[in-house]
Amino acid sequence: MKNHFNTIKKYLLAFTISLSLWSCKDLTEININPNGVNEEEANPNLLLPTVLSGAASKYNELSFVDLGGVVQHTQLDAWFDSHNDYEWTGGILSWDAYYGFLRDNELMRRRAEELGLDFHHGVSLVMRAYLFGLITDLWGDAPYTDALKAELGGVQYNFPKFDQQDIIYKGIIDELKQANTILSNPTGNYEVLASADLYFGGDVSKWRRFANSLALRYYMRIAEKESAFAKQGIENILANPTEFPIITSVEDEVVMDFVGNNSGDAWPSNTIFDASGSNFRRIKMCATLVDRLQQLGDPRLSVWANKIEIPIEVRTSEPAGTDKIVNGVRIVSPDVVQGIAVDTDADYVGLPPSGSKNPSAYNLNPSPGQTSMNPHVSYLSDTYKEAKGTLLKARLFAASEVDFILAEAAWKGWSLPESAKTYYERAVRNSLTSWGKAGEYATYLQQQGVAFEDTQSQIIEQKWISNWSTAAQAWFDYRRTGYPQLKAGPAAIRTQLPVRIPYMQNEMSVNRKNAEEALSRIEKTAYSQADNENSAWSKPWLLQGTSKPW
């Protein structure tokens, strides 16, 4: 993917357009920004980078910052409640930004149709499906058919109903079919400003692959509830590769580089613009991921994590009270660690998931607290201190995900051109390639636990690993399959992991009638407790009747 963020003037103008779109509304009038651009004159080429950059940055923040804890990729050792313990009540996670991008995208779609710009029209349908897919994945039922129509006026559109989750999933699949058709002509037939397309530089064929690969994602998402529909959809795409091309290589991945010019366009844990280094310092590898990568001899561990600075050795030969550093090793006697969980691995140590209400003190940290530097736990790789870099991408759709989806479909016995083993091995190879470890594929594939065993649990476990920094997809897979078999830590606020994001308090107040109707369709569980239906542990349509993940 080419880096097109240097078109700063276009962004500034697009941002101005966005501000005009987001002008405050009440039920009787629309405030007009006299310095903004009239919607009737909005240029789709200026709206496009606003939608693409905003969606990618927000998805990266969601996956790397917000949800890495729930799937036990990472843990925070300070300010950890929402990350480690999923305390999301009151609107800590909100859909407002997603609907903001959708409003800009809807304007781009309307203007594209008016101007006959098929490229922008097709792209707008793909991004609409991507964003609405995220919304229903996260919250369940949500405004969809009546959303983005406030300019039509009336209660129906100012207070839109929440569509049922199955309607949204099937709706976005239909929109992706429309996008595939619109983008099916030769590239020369489209009017494209390559610099406005931050993902593919105006390559129409890659957008088409994105659309059909996204359809695969959502067919598999609903496979437990709509098996026949999902099976037919995936089989049809694979049986007609010319009509429905998909992502087949790392070169086709949907990613966006970070510019790194300021805090707004840089990798979120960077220490370049965060002078305190707090965002990087607080985030650690989670023991669940670290331990499994070590067991599998996974070469990606060294890409994602730093080795600990000072290993710990517990020596029975030392006198009581020994606690000293010799040649870079902290040596302690058994009485020093009595009753304390200590990880003495000499290379990599992760924070246990929700293992403590004071995680900064883990592993005998000599200086626990908000600003400590723990030399006995693995930090992320120094790569994640940078503001930009070849590995620092917002990863909206990886090539490995496509093959993991197909491996699972083949495992289910669906009729596909290749075997589950072939898809699985290609998925692993594509993931290693994405992280610069393609040369170690042959050796890795021979490791016990990696060599194909023809089980759903193995397919999803490798997919969970490959979803490093895209934790949202790992969480969605865990919810529908129960794999990997993640367990809440001893200090977690529930004994099971959550399965949805609660509706925000402002939505419950402003659009109360429709929100409450949506909640009446959500299944309260034994883990919902006092949160009732609007709980992170209540089950939306997708999980009802499946006994998954618990």
Q: What is the pLDDT of residues 129-165, one digit of tens each?
A: 999 999 999 999 999 999 999 888 888 999 999 999 9
Name the DSSP class of 147: T
Contact 385, 271 (CB under 8 A): yes
Q: Is 447 helix (H, G, I), strand (E, B) or coil?
A: coil
On the question of pLDDT at 260 being above 60, the answer is yes
Its CATH architecture, for the domain 400-466, is: Up-down Bundle (1.20)
On the question of pLDDT at 531 being above 80, the answer is yes
454-to-22, 316, 461 alpha-carbon distances in Å? 50, 45, 12
406-to-9, 156, 423, 526 alpha-carbon distances in Å? 42, 40, 6, 34
| pLDDT of 63 | 96
Domain with CATH 1.25.40.390 in the chain: 8-66+94-233
| pLDDT of 30 | 42
On the question of pLDDT at 11 being above 70, the answer is no
| pLDDT of 370 | 84
Q: What percent of the chain is modeled with pLDDT above 90?
A: 87
On the question of pLDDT at 366 being above 70, the answer is yes
| pLDDT of 86 | 92
On the question of pLDDT at 214 being above 70, the answer is yes
What average pLDDT does this structure show over 178-205?
95
**Maximum Cα–Cα distance for the chain, whole Å?**
82
Minimum mean pLDDT range among 12-21, 259-268, 275-284: 12-21
Average pLDDT over the chain, rounded to an integer? 92
CB atoms within 10 A of CB 185: 14
531 contact partners, CB below 8 Å, separation of at least 6: 89, 502, 537, 538
Residue 497 identity (one-letter amino acid): L
> In degrees rounded to 5, what are phi and psi of residue 366?
-70, -15
What average pLDDT does this structure show over 374-402?
98
∠ Cα 168 463 55 (to 5°): 45
Confidence of residue 92 (pLDDT cuts 50, 70, 90): confident
Confidence of residue 90 (pLDDT cuts 50, 70, 90): confident
| pLDDT of 38 | 75
Confidence of residue 37 (pLDDT cuts 50, 70, 90): low
CB atoms within 10 A of CB 427: 25
Confidence of residue 18 (pLDDT cuts 50, 70, 90): very low
Which CATH number applies to 8-66+94-233: 1.10.10.10, 3.90.550.10, 3.40.920.10, 1.25.40.390? 1.25.40.390
Domain with CATH 1.20.120.840 in the chain: 400-466
217 contact partners, CB below 8 Å, separation of at least 6: 133, 397, 401, 405
Instruction: Round to whole Å and give the CA distance between 291 and 301.
Output: 10
Location of structure tokens 């200086």: 367
| pLDDT of 153 | 87
What average pLDDT does this structure show over 74-102?
92
Instruction: Round to whole Å and give the CA distance between 105 and 127.
Output: 7
What average pLDDT does this structure show over 252-274?
96
| pLDDT of 36 | 54
